[in-house]
A and B are shown apart, each in its own frame.
Chain A
Amino acid sequence: MRVDHEATLPLVYRLCLRSILRIWRTLDEIEEVEAEIIELRRVRLKEHGVRGRAPYTWRQIAGYPGRLALDRTVVPIPDQADRPVNTLLADARTALRALPRSPLLTCTIIAVLALSIGATTTIYSVVHTVLIEDLEYPEPDRVVGLWLVQSDLSRARMTPGNLLDARELGVLESLGSFRRSSATFHPEDGDAIVLTGTRVTDGYFESLARQPIVGRPFNSLETSTGGPSVVMLGERFWSTRLGRDAGIIGRVLILNDTPREVVGVMPSGVYPAGASIGAEVTIDPDGPDFWIPERFSEAFYQNRRSHLLGVVGRLDDSTSFEAAQAAVATLGANLGERDPMNAGEGLVLTSFRSEVVGAVEQSLVLLLLTVAVVLAIGGANVAALLLVRAESRQAELALRAALGAGRSRLVQLFVETAILAAVGGGLGVLLAPRLLDALRGAIPTSIPRMHNAVVDWQVLGVSTVLVLLVSLLAGSLPAVFAARSSLTGALRQSAPGAGVGRTRRTLQAFMVGAQASMAVVLLVVAGLLVRSFMELNAVDLGFDSDGVLTASMNVPTSVGDDQESIVEFMRVVRESLLEIPGVTAAGLASDSPVQRNWVDGFRILGETRGPDDDPTWASLRRVGVGYLELIRTPVLDGRGFSATDGVNGAPVAVVNEAAAALYFNSDAVGRQIFLPSLERMYGEGFAGATREIVGVIGNVRYLGPQAEHEPAIYMPLDQFTSAGLVAAVRIDASRPDAAAAVRSAIMAVDSGVGLREVTSLSSLVGRFTASARFAMILLAMFGAMGLLLAAMASHALVSRVVATRLREYGIRRALGAPSGALARNVLWAAVGPAGIGTLVGIAVATPAAFAIRGQLFATTPLDPVSFAAAPVVLLLTACAAGLLCLGRALRADPVDALRSD
C-alpha cells in the first residue's frame, strides 16, 4: 500500500536542501523545513482533491535556503559547534594563530608554493595563448596552407602556375597567395621609414575571414591587372603612424613613389605575412604594416619556375581536412603532366594552425611538463614541511582527540594547508604577470602569439585548481598520520629525547627521495639542453660576426634606377661609412649573411646534364667590394672580388666550397656558368648572364647553425645591383654610439634612404639560437629550483633527525664514539634518501631524454656528461645540506642530553 502523504522529501530535493542548509543551519531546523514542504503539498492535495503525486517544484524548495540566508539577522545562528561553517571558522582561527608561531616554516612553505604556482601559472598562460586558444579566425580549423613538395621531399613555395592549378581544386572555398613586400614611406614628420608588407591576391583575406575594422576589403577591380593602386593598412601602422585617424580611408599614401589609395584597415593579429624559401610562414607580431594587391599578368601565371608564393586557403563546409588532403595529393601527382618543369613534384595541404605554432609546440610542451615537475617537487616539499609541523603538534592533536575531539577535528590540518596554499598560491598568481613580463623580454620573437599571453580568468581557474590539488595532496599525508596517531604513542614520542617515529621518518625520507628523483630528471634535461646549446654556439657559421654592425636599407628613389647611379650611390655610402671614427672596414651586399632570399638554377657551360641528373641550383648572392673581407669569409681558391669587377669589368662570379664540391668536382676556378634568371630579368642576350668563376670561398651557413651547407654563387654587386641593400661595418665595439653613427653616416648621403634596423650581426646570429637559448635558460632555472627544493627537503630531514637524536649522539660521544662515525651517521641521513631518489631519477630521465631528442642539436640523448653531472650535483647538494646540521650533532653534550631526562 502506498502511503499517500510521504514522510520524507524525494531524495534529490532532500540532498540539495540538506547540503546547502547544512552549512549554517542545524539538522533540527532543516528537518522542520522539510516537514513543512511535505505538509504543504499534502494540504494542497487535500484542498484541490488531486490524487497521486503532485510535483514538488524547484522554485518552492530553492526559496528556503535563499530566505534563510537573508534572514539570519532575525533568526540568528545559534552558537553550536556542529555546524561545519562554525567549525571551519574556528579551525581557520586556530590555524591563523598557529601559523605565525613557526614563522620560518610558514614563510618557507608560502615561498615554495608562491614560486612553483607562479612559475606554473606563467608557463601555462603562454601555452594557453600560443597552443590552446583558437587563432582569431572564425573556424580556424578550416584555414589551410598549400605548398609544393619537391622531388627531394622538401617543401617549397608555389609558383604562379601552381596557384592557377590549385584554383581548380573543388574543395577550397577560397584561395589566395601572399609574399613579402616592403616599401619606403615618407612620414610628414621625420625620416623615411621602411614598412614591411604583404602582396596578396584575392582570396587571401577571404580565406582568413578577416574584415577591415575601418573601410572595406579590396574589390575585384583592384585585385585584377590594370586596376587602381590601392593599399590596405595594418592596425599597428595606422595607430602608431597615423594616429588611428578614420579619415585615412580614401586618402592617398605614397609607398615606394607609387600613390596608393587607402581602402581599409585590418585589425592586428596573426597573418601569414610571407613565406621563406624553406616554405615556412613568417608572421609579424602584430601583422604587416600594409597589404597591396598582387597582380600577375596572364603571362606570369604561366610561370612555373619562380617559387615565390605562400598560399593560404579555406576549406569549404562539406570537405574534411583528410578529403581535401587527398584531393590536393591527386592534383599534385598530375602536376608533371601539366608542365615538365613540375615533374616529380607534388602538392601538400597543411593546417594553418600547425604553420603558426608547429615549430614551438614541442618546446612549449616540454616547458609545461618541466614546470609541472617543479610544481610536483614544490608540492612534495610542502607536504614534507607540513609533516614536520604535524609532528611537532602531534601531542596537541592526540590530546585533543583523547579529550573527545572528533577525528574531523583533524580537518584542522587541512584548513591550515588550505590557508597556506591560498596565501602561497595567491602570491604566486600575483607573481605570474611579473614573471610573464620578464619572460616576454627574454622570449624569442619567433614564438607566435606570445605577445598576446596574459594571466586571464581561464589561466587563474587552472591555477586555482592547482592550488586546491596541491593543498589536498600535501595536506592529506600529515592529516592521515595525525588521525592514526594514538595518544600514548604521541606523548611518548614527543617527550624530550625521544627519537622520531619510524614510520614518519621513513615517510619523510621517501618524500626527500621523491624530490631528489624529480630534481635529477630536471637536471638531466637541463644539462642536455645546455650541452645542445653549447654545440649550437660552437658551430662555425663561416663568418665572423664580432664587432660587425649591419643596416638594411632601400636605395632611395632620388638616385634613379640605372646601374651607374646606384653604383655611385653605393660607393658614396661606403666612403661615408669608412669615415666614421673607429670603423676599420665597410661593405655592401644584397643580403645579410643571415638571410637567404634567392635560390635559382644555373647551367655549367661545357657540361651536359641528362634529364636524370639533379638540377644545378644555388643561393644567388651579390656582394660589394671589401664585403667578404669584412665578414672574414676566407678565399680558398682563386681570388675574391676587387675594384676591377665593376660595371665595365668582365662578368665574374665566386662560388662557395659546397658548390665547388657539388657541381665542379672541387675545380671551379676558370669554369663558366650561365644564369637563366639574369637573362629573364635583363632580356635575351644579356652578357652578364654568363659568368666566369674566379674564386672559391668558405661556406657560410645563412640559415643558422642547424642548417646544412648549401651551394652559393656570389656576384659583384656593382655588376648586378639590388634595390635592397645591407651595409656592414666592422667597428670598435667599445663605441656605445656606433649604431647611431652608422645611421647618421648613411642618412647624410641621402635622407630618403629607407633605413631599417641598424643591428649588430651578433644579435642577428643570436636569433638563430634564440629558441634553444630560451628553452635552455628556463629549464636551467627550473632545474635550479628543483635542486634548491630537494636540498631544502634534505636539510629539513637531517635537522629533524639530528634534533631528535641529540641525546643519543650525546651519550655516544660520552662513550667515546669517534666524530667520524657520528658524521657518517648524520650525512647518511641526508645522502641515503637522496641517493636512492637519484637512482630512480636516472631511470626516469632516460626515457625523458629520448622524448626530447627532437630538441637536441649534435647531442646524444644519453649524453654522459649530463647524466653524470646531474646526480653528482644533487648528491653534493644533499651532502652540503647534511654538513649544515653536522656541527650541531658533533657539539651534542652528554650532560645536556641526560639532564633533559
Chain B
Amino acid sequence: MRQPDVLGGFEHQVLLAVARLDGETYSAPIVLELQRRTGREVASAAVFVTLRRLEKRGYLTSARDTEGGRVGRPRRIFELTASGADALREARATLDQLWQGLTLPESR
C-alpha cells in the first residue's frame, strides 16, 4: 500500500506543473506543460484523474472558471494549496537528502 502523504512520481510532476503555470491552470495547459517539460507524451486521462486525486488529498483546490465569452462548459481551474506547496518542498528535500554526497558512475 502506498503511504497517502507521500507524493507519487506522476503526482509530483503534475503538482510541479500546476505550481509552474501561472493563471491558466486548467487541465489542458497542464497536459501541454508536462509534455513540453518532460519531452514525453502524457495521457490526458491520467492528468484528469491525478488532478482530482491531488485535490482530494488537499494539495490542490479547484473552482469553475466563471469568466464569460467561452463556448461550452466552464473549465475547472486548479490552484496549489499551502499543504500542496509543503508537500512539494518536502518531496524535494527528501530527494536532496538522498542525493547528498552521492556520485554516480559516469554514464557510458
A residues within 8 Å of B by Cβ? 3, 5-8, 31-40, 42-44, 47, 60, 63-64, 66-68, 71, 74-75
Contacts and interface: CB of A to CB of B under 8 A. Distances in A.
B53 A75 contact: yes
Contacts of A5: 71-72
A38 B73 CA distance: 10
Contacts of A43: 28-29, 32
Interface in B15-29: 26-29
B12 interface: no
Given A36-B28, A71-B53, 13 more contacts: A8-B72, A33-B48, A39-B75, A40-B44, A44-B32, A47-B32, A60-B43, A64-B45, A64-B48, A66-B45, A67-B48, A74-B49, A74-B56
A385 B45 CA distance: 49
A74 B28 contact: no
A66 B46 CA distance: 10
Interface in B22-74: 26-29, 31-32, 43-46, 48-49, 52-53, 56, 71-73
Contacts of A71: 49, 53
Nearest to A65: B45
A75 B72 contact: no
A38 B45 contact: no
Given A60-B44, A74-B56, A39 B28 contact: yes
A67 B49 contact: yes
A687 to B, nearest CB: 99
Interface string B71-106: 111011000000000000000000000000000000
A406 B86 CA distance: 49
B49 A68 contact: yes
Interface of B: 26-29, 31-32, 43-46, 48-49, 52-53, 56, 71-73, 75-76
Contacts of A66: 45
Nearest to A64: B45
Given A47-B32, A63-B45, A64-B48, A75 B73 contact: no
24 contacts: A5-B72, A8-B72, A33-B48, A36-B28, A39-B27, A39-B28, A40-B28, A42-B28, A43-B29, A44-B32, A47-B32, A60-B43, A60-B44, A60-B45, A63-B45, A64-B48, A67-B46, A67-B48, A67-B49, A68-B45, A74-B52, A74-B53, A75-B49, A75-B52
B76 to A, nearest CB: 7
Contacts of A3: 71
B87 to A, nearest CB: 16
Contact of A32 (B43, B46, B71, B76): B76
A40 B45 contact: no
Contact of A67 (B28, B29, B45, B72): B45
Contacts of A67: 43, 45-46, 48-49
Q: Top 9 A-B pairs ranked by shortest CB distance?
A: A63-B45, A7-B72, A35-B73, A43-B28, A40-B28, A74-B53, A64-B45, A67-B45, A39-B28
A7 B53 contact: no
Contacts of A31: 73
A35 B44 contact: no
A3 B70 CA distance: 11
Contacts, number: 65
Nearest to A4: B71
Nearest to B75: A39
A3 to B, nearest CB: 6
A7 B52 CA distance: 23
B73 to A, nearest CB: 4
A75 B56 CA distance: 8
A7 B70 CA distance: 9
Nearest to A62: B45
A7 B71 contact: yes
Contacts of B29: 43
A35 B75 contact: yes
Nearest to B36: A47
Nearest to B29: A43
A63 B72 contact: no
B3 to A, nearest CB: 14
A40 B31 contact: yes
A45 to B, nearest CB: 11
A49 to B, nearest CB: 14
B27 A36 contact: yes
A36 B48 contact: yes
A36 to B, nearest CB: 5
Contacts of A37: 44
A317 B85 CA distance: 75
Contacts of A6: 71
Contacts of B76: 32
Nearest to B44: A40
Contacts of A74: 49, 52-53, 56
Most B CB atoms within 10 A — which of A40, A71, A75? A40
Nearest to A33: B48
A36 B44 contact: yes
Nearest to B31: A40
A40 B47 CA distance: 11
A450 to B, nearest CB: 53
Contacts of A68: 45, 49
A6 to B, nearest CB: 8
Given A43-B32, A44-B32, A47-B32, A38 B72 contact: yes
Contacts of B52: 74-75
A506 B56 CA distance: 59
A667 B101 CA distance: 125
Contacts of A8: 72
Contacts of A38: 72
Nearest to B71: A7
Contact of A40 (B27, B53, B72, B73): B27
Nearest to A39: B28
A64 to B, nearest CB: 4
B49 to A, nearest CB: 5
A34 B45 CA distance: 11
Contacts of B53: 71, 74-75
Nearest to B70: A5
Nearest to A38: B72
Contact of A39 (B26, B46, B49): B26
A663 B28 CA distance: 102
A351 B22 CA distance: 79
A44 B42 CA distance: 13
A71 B8 CA distance: 14
Nearest to B24: A43
A43 B11 CA distance: 22
Contacts of B27: 36, 39-40
Contacts of A39: 26-28, 72, 75
Contacts of B46: 63, 67
